[in-house]
Chain A
């Protein structure tokens, strides 16, 4: 049994890495993640140390990406910023999955008015432009990384609830679920043993998409000054600081933007690749 599983696993990985999108995405994302992890132990310079004499230096051998208005090394700030971006987006996905998936599965298993009520509640959340509401939430509870996570996470809940419900609904009439039911299993057990493993693919693909969107949302919030607070570097905040100095130090606006684009690109490529590999029916279409 475990051999079969291991073989399947190996087969999946082989197929996955042949997929160009997935392979490129994994490499990009791994680089960013490695940069974020490395920043816990080592950065080229200390991001909390201000060296006024070295302000706004253009890129050079000493400072590969230059320095900012306080003389801090931009590369070091990008590395620490990566930590912040990835953590906020990842936890926000966790919140969305952790609450959304059980809700979606519950709606699919019970049907009736519970299903109706949950889906109506979803509609309400979808009617709010997500970024606007995230701004509202961070304004109400105060700016900061934790509140940014909550604000982004809340809007992930209905997304995962919808995907889980749609996936689960298509599985409930299937024979293997009916068989499990006939064997006397309750709906919780059926959901855990039969539904969840079969919708895991869908959730994984959606997870990478929401991860990427979370990175963008976090950047927008911290650009508006509602995300992580200084002195904690964040990519969005760096862009805000760069804006007024565009004429004198354009290099400040390049690096954080590129970091955001690369991270989102990497995650989207993984998502695309996964969707291709996990759903062979889709492969024909591309």
Chain B
């Protein structure tokens, strides 16, 4: 178990290092000189050159790479070219929007999907199963930003119960802030819930065919009890895998959903930063997202060991 986890941690770290090289190299070939962009087209060459030196852009590729990664390790992300504030501050501010959004969406999609999956699996082949799976089939096909537009039309334009976009900031109170995150979270969660419901259902159906379920039923457990107590736990492995993958999807989804709702989160920050050639911001945010995906996958692997005792004794 420890050896297994250690191996996973090491491979996660290797992935992280390679990813940092890839991110740095890709953004290296981005057209446009950040110093020129900051000063505008009318700046003299001398001024641009001076700023390049000040920003460290005149140094070699390797020097800048190690400077950047060294900074990342000490949570010193450098200074944004366009905002002239430390990138760390910028990220810390924006993450208070994106992280709650992704977490609410994840909670929402799990809370909807697992009961639906269990419900459908327990009624396999019956009309209730067919209908809920048909609905989820359509749900998988719905792009989240289109769903977001429909939600805005119904709840913001038509019923006027929630704002169509924008974010008041947490200092304006938890109530209004949560209200601003409701529609984005639903828009993010529902298409993911559809996928999760389908996976939960097929995982459960597979487990329900196992011998130990028949044994549980034979010893007098009701169908419901066998389902909730024995089947669900065993069906958790594929569900956990998908949950881990979904977190990555949700993070990427916040990029587009934040743009639909004009939310000042990481996703909007990164899109704006790309447009403004604010490379240091793009690099840092992308690395943060990659690191969190790797971390989540690691947590999923650890959760496997908790859910499945066989993994604890193996190796």
Contact = CB atoms under 8 A, between A and B. Distances in A.
A128 B282 contact: no
A139 B274 contact: yes
Nearest to A269: B137
B274 A253 contact: no
B249 interface: yes
A132 B255 contact: yes
Nearest to B153: A246
Interface string B146-188: 1001101100010000000000000000000000000000000
A44 interface: no
A109 B29 CA distance: 35
Contacts of A286: 202
Contact of B145 (A127, A130, A239): A239
Interface in B1-48: 11, 14-16, 18-19, 22, 26-27, 29-31
Contact of B205 (A120, A142, A285): A285
A272 B205 CA distance: 16
Interface string B118-150: 000000000000000000011011110110011
B149 A129 contact: no
Nearest to B16: A127
Given A123-B15, A139-B30, A139-B275, A132 B252 contact: yes
Interface residues of A, number: 43
B136 to A, nearest CB: 11
Interface residues of B, number: 49
Contact of A212 (B16, B141, B146, B297): B141
A223 interface: yes
A140 B26 CA distance: 8
Nearest to B249: A129
A268 B289 contact: no
B206 interface: yes
A256 B141 CA distance: 13
Given A220-B143, A246-B153, A257-B143, 12 more contacts: A120-B15, A124-B19, A131-B253, A135-B271, A136-B274, A136-B282, A219-B145, A239-B145, A239-B146, A261-B142, A263-B141, A286-B202
Interface of A: 120-121, 123-124, 127-133, 135-137, 139-140, 142, 212, 216, 219-220, 223-224, 239, 242-243, 246-247, 250, 253, 256-257, 260-265, 268-269, 272, 285-286
In the A-B complex, the 7 residue pairs with the smallest Cβ-Cβ separation, listed nearest first, are A129-B252, A264-B141, A257-B146, A139-B274, A131-B252, A265-B141, A261-B141
Interface of B: 11, 14-16, 18-19, 22, 26-27, 29-31, 137-138, 140-143, 145-146, 149-150, 152-153, 157, 202, 205-206, 209, 248-249, 251-253, 255-256, 259-260, 270-271, 274-275, 282, 286, 289-290, 293-294, 297
11 contacts: A132-B252, A136-B274, A212-B141, A219-B143, A219-B145, A219-B146, A224-B259, A246-B153, A246-B157, A257-B149, A268-B140
